[in-house]
Structure 1
Amino acid sequence: MELDFDKIKRIRKIRSVKSDLSKEENILIKPILSDKKLIPLIYKTFTNIICKKSDEGISTVMQRKKFIFIILYLYSPSSLAGDKMASGLRNELSKVLGIQAKSTISNNCANLVFLYQNYMDFRNDVEFIYNKILSWLKIYGLIK
């Protein structure tokens, strides 16, 4: 077996790429919000936006999924990519949504990314509501 120095070069290159990807991932998974006490206020803002925008009502499963998507994006973006939800977030969502079984939250999370990617109405609503909530958070100095 002969010495293949290219193997060493490839290992170094792979490690460098992995390091760069890890740094980028750490930036991307950083939540916008961490104070879970804001979730009831965000929910109230969400319901106000929905009531003005839609005659569908806030209590539908799809509206609940839109809210959960936005909360996950704000508090636990990596969970939308398959990681576990940030600690305590499922409990807060259960409380604000009035859901007893926490498994309902998990079940509602199962296809959020699919809905966002494949259903234009869902995506448009999420983006519209998210931008309104973001504006509200900025106005009240809760984010920069």
Structure 2
Amino acid sequence: MELDFDKIIRIRKIRSVKSDLSKEENALARPVLSDKKLIPEIHKVFTSLIVERGCKPATNTVIQRKKFIFIVLYLYSPSSLAGDKMAPGLRDELSNVLGVQAKSTISNNCANLVFLYQNYTSFRKDVEYLCNKIISWLKSHELVE
């Protein structure tokens, strides 16, 4: 066996890249909001936006509920949209706001959110429109920067 110092150089480079990627992941996974007490207010804004767009105010339709859940996850637990666990207490708050008895319903609704967003243009456009409006509302109330 011969000495191969290139292995050492390669290990150092890999560690550096991993460190950089970890820092980037942490920055991307940082939630926009942490105060879960805002979720009922966000739900009110969401519902009013749905009505403005000519839809029935009921957010208990599965697709509207999924749009709301997607937006809340994006704001409070973005890494959960990438496969991580949901932020603690978020499932309970979503259940309460949406009037869902079984918390497993929330988990089941989360299962294909990214698929819906990536594959259904109307879902994606609605989510982007609603999320941008909600973020504007949050900014106007100085709840986010």
Normalization by structure 1: what TM-score?
A: 0.98
Name the counterpart of 1:79. Answer: 80
Tell me the distance in 2 between the aligned counterparts of 1:50 and 1:132. 11
Q: Number of paired residues?
A: 144
RMSD: 0.8
Given residue 103 of structure 2, which amino acid in structure 1 is its aligned partner?
K
Please state how far the C-alpha of 1:54 moved relative to its aligned partner. 3.2
1:37 aligns with 2:37: yes
Please state how far the C-alpha of 1:108 moved relative to its aligned partner. 0.1
Secondary structure of 2:84's match?
coil
Whether contact under 8 Å (1:73, 1:80) holds in the other structure is yes
Runs of 4+ in 1 over 4 A off after TM superposition: none
Q: What do residues 50-77 of structure 1 show as CA deviations (whole Å, max 9, x unaligned)? A: 0111335422100000000000000000
Whether contact under 8 Å (1:47, 1:58) holds in the other structure is yes
Name the counterpart of 2:140. Answer: 139
Given residue 94 of structure 1, which amino acid in structure 2 is its aligned partner?
S
Tell me the distance in 1 between the aligned counterparts of 2:98 and 2:133. 20
Tell me the distance in 2 between the aligned counterparts of 1:55 and 1:127. 16
Q: What do residues 111-130 of structure 1 show as CA deviations (whole Å, max 9, x unaligned)? A: 00000000000000000000
1:92 aligns with 2:63: no
Secondary structure of 1:31's match?
coil
Given residue 55 of structure 1, which amino acid in structure 2 is its aligned partner?
C
% same residue:
74
Q: Which runs of 5+ in 2 are unaligned?
A: none
Given residue 65 of structure 1, which amino acid in structure 2 is its aligned partner?
K
Name the counterpart of 1:7. Answer: 7
Whether contact under 8 Å (1:93, 1:105) holds in the other structure is yes
Whether contact under 8 Å (1:51, 1:58) holds in the other structure is no
Name the counterpart of 2:50. Answer: 50
Given residue 103 of structure 1, which amino acid in structure 2 is its aligned partner?
S
Normalization by structure 2: what TM-score?
A: 0.97
Q: Which runs of 5+ in 1 are unaligned?
A: none
